[in-house]
Amino acid sequence: MESKNRLGYCEVCNSDAAKYCCPRCEVKTCSLSCVNIHKKELDCDGKKYKTGFKKLEKFNDNDMSQDYRLMNEFIEAVGEFKMKTQRISNLSAVFRRLRYQAYQRHIRLQILPKSTLNKNNTSFFNPKVNKIFWRIDWTFHGTDVKYTNHKVPEYQKLNSIARNYFTTEFHDDEVKEKMQFYVSAGIRGVIFLMKTPYGKYYELDSEDTISYSLRSKTILEYPEILVVLSIHKDAFSDLLYVENSTFNNNKSKIM
């Protein structure tokens, strides 16, 4: 009776109480059979309008979450489009080589010629040893402390690169005070979050090498890693990004 009172009768057969409401056209139906009839007759796919207008007084937290997801889908799509359509002729020989070698390692590397990030990018590929050497930026959450590593070989593990940052001897007196909680927690008491071009973060395993950490991920110019105390991990739960690990093996998109 509750379902009947709330939705009324099925708008397809008009005989039974409605149980479902189409997210797209809001037609009320009572069964799968009636759902399929309404889809066929109204040419409706049953998918909610992502950009439909909704009055402010009816806007709720669920609508906000849907808009946020839609915004991130747009950001991701634009980023992928820029990567696929980026002309290789706009890149210097160094970055053409770097981008191709990253692609060979299943890393989606986006290069922005003439940008500030690009000017700061000291990453390169060394053909003599067949290895990529990365620039890595480290930012410590809750502080203004930032460090940069240059010429970091791709086979090096993240924890070995960052280990010095968790010792008091490494920092001067001013920075030492800012880093006291990180030094106290140690490298096992933090998480590493790498920026995506989409406003979110990939969570990295500190035991992995750089090459493995970047595999099947999209990065802009070079890795930028946010170091967060493990006790604050929950604050970033909505900002963690899980990307499809299937890498498109179509080299023409890179070329």
Residue 248: the pLDDT is: 43
CA–CA separation, 138 vs 192, rounded Å? 9
DSSP line for the chain: -HHHHHH-B-TTTSSSB--EE-TTT--EESSHHHHHHHHHHHT---PPPTT----GGG--HHHHHHHHHHHHHHHHHHHHHHHHH--GGGS-HHHHHHHHHHHHTT-EEE--TTSHHHHH---EEETTTTEEEEEEEEEETTS--EEEEEEEETTSBHHHHHGGGGSGGGS-HHHHHHTHHHHHH-GGGEEEEEEPTTS-EEEE-TTSBHHHHHTT-EEESS-EEEEEEGGGGGGGGGGB-----PPP--GGGT-
pLDDT mean across residues, the chain: 83
Q: Given pLDDT bands bounded at 50, 70 and 90, which one contains residue 255? A: very low
Q: Return the residue matching tokens 């056209």.
A: 25
Summarize the confidence of residues 207-229 as an average pLDDT.
94
Question: What is the average pLDDT across 172-184?
Answer: 92
Residue that wins the pLDDT comparison between 155 and 112? 155
Instruction: State the pLDDT at residue 204.
Output: 95
Question: Per the confidence metrics, is the pTM higher than 0.75?
Answer: no
- Mean pLDDT over 160-165 rounds to 94
| Confidence label for 82 from pLDDT (cuts 50, 70 and 90) | low
pLDDT of 254 strictly over 70: no
What φ, ψ does residue 237 adopt, rounded to 5°?
-60, -35
The closest alpha carbon to 12, from 25, 24, 26, 29, belongs to 29
pLDDT value, residue 251: 38
Does residue 134 surpass a pLDDT of 50? yes
Q: What is the mean pLDDT of residues 138-161?
A: 95
Between 24 and 120, residue with greater pLDDT:
120
Say which range, 84-88, 123-127, 167-171, has the weakest mean pLDDT: 84-88
Section 128-156 average pLDDT? 96
The answer to whether the beta carbons of residues 10 and 36 sit under 8 Å apart is no
Pairing assessment for the beta strands 201-204 and 108-110 based on DSSP bridges: unpaired
pLDDT score, position 4: 45
Distance of alpha carbon 62 from alpha carbon 177, whole angstroms: 42
94-116: per-residue pLDDT in tens? 998 999 999 999 999 988 887 88
Pick from 79, 128, 131: nearest CA to 104: 131
In this predicted structure, what is the pLDDT of residue 150? Answer: 96
